[in-house]
Structure 1
């Protein structure tokens, strides 16, 4: 989270993700519980071998300022998991961003992320780092 907005309850978030080869970042506005439902779903991921958990912010349309899709799924029967990261900022060139990549992970790390997100209060702790969540800052 970057800052509080002007009294309307929105927070200014910045999310940055990387798989080591590709990276993307997005600034957007949302409420303090923006990630709570996503986190609750991740705490028990996967429920089945075909489980999918999604978080979408904005719309994949030029009518919106931004779009982010995080889609978590298993790609192996042993539970090996991935996160599809799809981010667009819908700005004009040369400021536009259109990035899609996958982050490989496992259910235990996703469960940990779910616990972090479902209990996160960005008004109390402004930064949440995952998988190195022990490095959170105020």
Structure 2
């Protein structure tokens, strides 16, 4: 089994928005998708991950596009607690919304601890300030 991870890489794009490639694996399944967003959206996501959870029902959700084909892609990264004793997970789902044999999609969960999600938030905020190297996060490193 491979190691679980989430990775973000800024791709060259001449605009105020960033073109970002996200890839992830839970050790069994993996996926990759590029998308466009503003750096302040990623910084806000990092801040939300850093202070997660605020309650037992809290979730942090980053979602772009949809699966109906109205967008060029779908990206979902969602952190949540999956039981009453505080065990956490990150849901990762992407869909390239391509036609026919070029279509690809994946959806899976990465089990992790709250402290590792908080660490992801800290790493993400630092990466937004200096995105020259890819960010690679592991759920087992805090």
Tell me if both proteins adopt one fold, taking TM over 0.5 as the criterion. yes
Q: Distance in 2 between matches of 1:86 and 1:48?
A: 24
Runs (5+) with no aligned partner, structure 1: none
1:88 corresponds to 2:88: no
Further displaced range: 111-120 or 13-22: 111-120
Q: TM-score, normalised by structure 1?
A: 0.85
Alpha-carbon deviation of 1:68? 0.7
Runs (5+) with no aligned partner, structure 2: 1-8
Alpha-carbon deviation of 1:5? 1.3
Whichever structure has more helix as a proportion of its residues is 2
Q: Say if 1:65 and 1:90, in contact at 8 Å, map to a contact too.
A: yes
Count residues with an aligned counterpart.
132
Q: TM-score, normalised by structure 2?
A: 0.83
Whichever structure has more strand as a proportion of its residues is 2
Alpha-carbon deviation of 1:48? 1.3
**SS at 1:33's partner residue?**
helix
Partner of 1:60: 67
Q: Say if 2:43 and 2:124, in contact at 8 Å, map to a contact too.
A: yes
Change (3 A) 1:51 1:88: same
Change (3 A) 1:105 1:73: same
Q: Say if 1:52 and 1:72, in contact at 8 Å, map to a contact too.
A: yes
Q: Say if 1:4 and 1:10, in contact at 8 Å, map to a contact too.
A: no
Instruction: Tell me: higher relative CO, structure 1 or 2? Use CA pairs within 8 A at least 6 residues apart.
Output: 2
Q: Distance in 1 between matches of 2:123 and 2:131?
A: 13
**SS at 1:39's partner residue?**
helix
1:16 corresponds to 2:23: yes
Q: Distance in 1 between matches of 2:131 and 2:60?
A: 26
Deviations, residues 69-101 of structure 1 (Å, cap 9, x unaligned):
111110122211011111111001211112111
